[in-house]
Chains A and B, each alone.
Chain A
Amino acid sequence: MLEVQDVVARYGAIEALRGVSIRVERGEIVTIIGANGAGKSTLLMTICGDPRAASGRILFEGRDITHLPTYDIVRLGIAQAPEGRRIFPRMTVLENLMMGAVPTDGSHFEEDLERVFALFPRLRERRHQRGGTLSGGEQQMLCIGRALMARPKLLLMDEPSLGIAPILVRQIFEAIVAINRERGLPILLVEQNAYQALRIAHRGYVLAGGRVVKQGTGRQLLADPEVRAAYLEGGH
């Protein structure tokens, strides 16, 4: 489905990714864990073409997307729930969701909207409220719902649990699993909350210093003593 091959990405002189290769297959939840500055977010952003990969290749459904502009990549079916949620604060929940449907032809809008509302009933209640007035957790729901409105073939999520009340974190992770199961939608999930992420992921990669240092199934990584010591001990 998605193949990242030996990708290097730079911010000026700083090399954020030093030859990263990952893969996402149909129907999988794949998570990327790692410390701050390991290059997790950069990897997601590079897949979307911003920053552009300095070398290496990115294939989506067999097609080379390394040099496409971001909006074309999104239109091919890669939706993102970006870091920091980035919802439109002055627009209503409904308008935000409508913006998510931009890459579609609009013919399934009502149906898709119902599916998002079924997944996050809270959004239905607040549909006429401005995005900026939602709580952090609700904003994250909106962010995910907005990404789903694009009818994506692959969903990229950057730190969906960041800055959210613990009770809502559980809900968000449950929703991620539900999206994956019900729609068979593959998800590439970047998380600080390594424990939760590995628990729901089929496979995972550990990133450190811009390189993949470990990979395996979610269960393997959860059991790995080094992973435990570096990313799991001390609370989750």
Chain B
Amino acid sequence: MTTAIRAPAVSVVPGLGARVKDAALAAFVAFVLLAPILGMETVPGPDGRLTLDFHFDLVAIGALGVFLGRLALSFALRGRPLARAAAGPLSVFVSRYGNWLGVAGLVFALALPLMPFSSRYVIDVATTLVIYVMLGWGLNIVVGLAGLLDLGYVAFYAVGAYSYALFAKWFGLGFWACLPIAGVLAAVAGILLGFPVLRLRGDYLAIVTLGFGEIIRLVLINWHEVTGGPNGIADIPRPSFFGFPFTRNPGEGEIAFHQLFGLEFSTMHRVVFLYYLALALALVTNLFVLRIRKLPIGRAWEALREDEIACKALGINPTNTKLTAFALGAMFGGFAGSFFATRQGFISPESFTFIESAIILAIVVLGGMGSQIGVVLAAAVIVLLPEIARELETYRMLFFGAAMVLIMIWRPRGLLAHREPTLRLHPRPGGGGS
């Protein structure tokens, strides 16, 4: 109640003293950070051992730059916060034209390989992007809808990838046969993890899922006989076009893809096929999530995120509800994992480190927790920014990090924080009030 009678929004313009103090504080923080990063350099000494070189001039320039920048920023903003309200024009636009945006995006995605600027590099990056979108949508079930902070999502990605690799290698199963197996195994892993830990909440759950992700990675490294340990699994069967391989010289009795369609052999065929495969998998994920949000279980996830106690009072079994979220989220991670394995042809525990979980989680949070289009935008930012910044070379990741920080300052609740209601009531004849 008290918030309603807050003073009218007269922005309090801070005095010069306050601004200088604020800028000085920022400069101090910058100094502490820059001292080891810019100020010290290891160089080989005369006897071949490393010695430290100090560059205090660089640190001073950096801190001074931050001081002046911060001061300029405070004058430019005149006391207004940098963060925009959650329902900014972007959110409103997307909620109004979301369907058209989705259709336009889909048409663009379908036409991408035919575009004049399309090249092997473009298709490769696009495939990576689509896979991250799919992973984001999968994790969105767990984090965005059910509100369970999962820091170990990459574990399910790994389970899916290794499932495909092992079943394809040892049992000669094709991609389409392995895909459901990978999904089921990942879902089982999700339930195995979920069962003991779902009574935990918030931070505690996050820590345990983090641990689970590491356990899976360590098992992959140490279980030599099955996973090949740190060497990983190589020569994973590449995908075929429903039984027609993408090879120049098919084996005895086989017909290759290019022969089937009477085309000139090109390595691009496989790249484009993989792209469409990823797109199809991502679309299935999206349709599934859009549909399930409108079913009782999906609504129960969202309710659970908002108020677990209320859910219990309404006859919802929170454990089962969370387990389904975990299992289904894991399943899509598993699908994405088996695609990853068939695309790369080689997998090792290196590919499934914590940073992957962090990136996928960043996509969901940056997208605005629960927004499907938000995930696409965020995945585009996270996958494309480092590509765009390639020319910055050494400073690429610094640029990437700064961009992420800026986005979160600009939109603290994610790019699209708007939540679309799951049902609307048709106006009822004689119902009144509609």
Contact = CB atoms under 8 A, between A and B. Distances in A.
A155 to B, nearest CB: 12
A150 B316 CA distance: 12
Given A94-B423, A95-B423, A82 B315 contact: no
Interface string B1-26: 10000000000000000000000000
Given A69-B317, A102-B300, A89 B424 contact: no
B312 interface: yes
Contact of A94 (B309, B310, B421): B421
B433 A99 contact: no
Given A99-B299, A99-B303, A124-B433, A86 B309 contact: yes
Nearest to A82: B313
Interface residues of A, number: 33
> What class of interface size applies to chain B in its complex with A?
20 to 34
A58 to B, nearest CB: 16
A87 interface: yes
B423 A100 contact: no
Given A95-B423, A99-B299, A89 B306 contact: yes
B307 A88 contact: yes
A124 to B, nearest CB: 5
A127 B425 contact: yes
Contacts of B419: 90
Contacts of B317: 69, 71
Given A98-B299, A102-B300, A124-B433, A90 B306 contact: yes
A146 interface: yes
A102 B302 CA distance: 14
Nearest to B308: A86
Interface string A59-101: 0000000000111001100001010001111111011001110
B315 to A, nearest CB: 3
Contacts of B302: 88, 90-91
Contacts of A91: 299, 302-303, 306, 421
Contact of A99 (B300, B424, B431): B300
A72 to B, nearest CB: 8
A86 B421 contact: no
A128 interface: yes
B266 interface: no
Contact of A98 (B307, B309, B311, B423): B423
Contacts of B316: 71, 99, 102
Contact of A121 (B299, B303, B433): B433
B422 interface: yes
B215 to A, nearest CB: 30
Given A90-B306, A94-B423, A70 B433 contact: no
B421 A103 contact: no
Contacts of B318: 71
Contacts of A124: 431-433
A66 to B, nearest CB: 17
Contact of A71 (B303, B312, B432): B312
Nearest to B309: A86
Nearest to A104: B315
Nearest to A136: B1
B45 interface: no
A117 to B, nearest CB: 8
A125 interface: yes
Interface string B213-237: 0000000000000000000000000
A207 B314 CA distance: 26
B46 interface: no
A74 B315 contact: yes
B421 A128 contact: yes
Contacts of A95: 299, 421-423
A163 B419 CA distance: 28
A62 B412 CA distance: 53
B314 A146 contact: yes
Interface string A123-167: 011011000000010000000001000100000000000010000
Given A91-B303, A92-B421, A128-B421, A100 B433 contact: no
A90 to B, nearest CB: 6
Nearest to A89: B306
Given A91-B421, A124-B433, A125-B433, A74 B314 contact: yes
Interface in A1-53: 48, 50
Nearest to B312: A70
A17 B359 CA distance: 49
B296 interface: yes
A97 B104 CA distance: 35
A101 to B, nearest CB: 9
B314 A102 contact: yes
A95 B313 CA distance: 16
8 contacts: A71-B316, A87-B307, A91-B303, A94-B424, A98-B299, A100-B314, A127-B425, A128-B425
Interface of A: 48, 50, 69-71, 74-75, 80, 82, 86-92, 94-95, 98-100, 102-103, 114, 121, 124-125, 127-128, 136, 146, 150, 163
Interface of B: 1, 296, 299-300, 302-303, 306-307, 309-318, 419, 421-425, 431-433
Given A82-B313, A95-B421, A103-B314, 14 more contacts: A48-B313, A50-B312, A69-B317, A71-B315, A74-B313, A74-B315, A87-B310, A88-B303, A91-B299, A94-B421, A99-B311, A102-B296, A102-B315, A128-B421
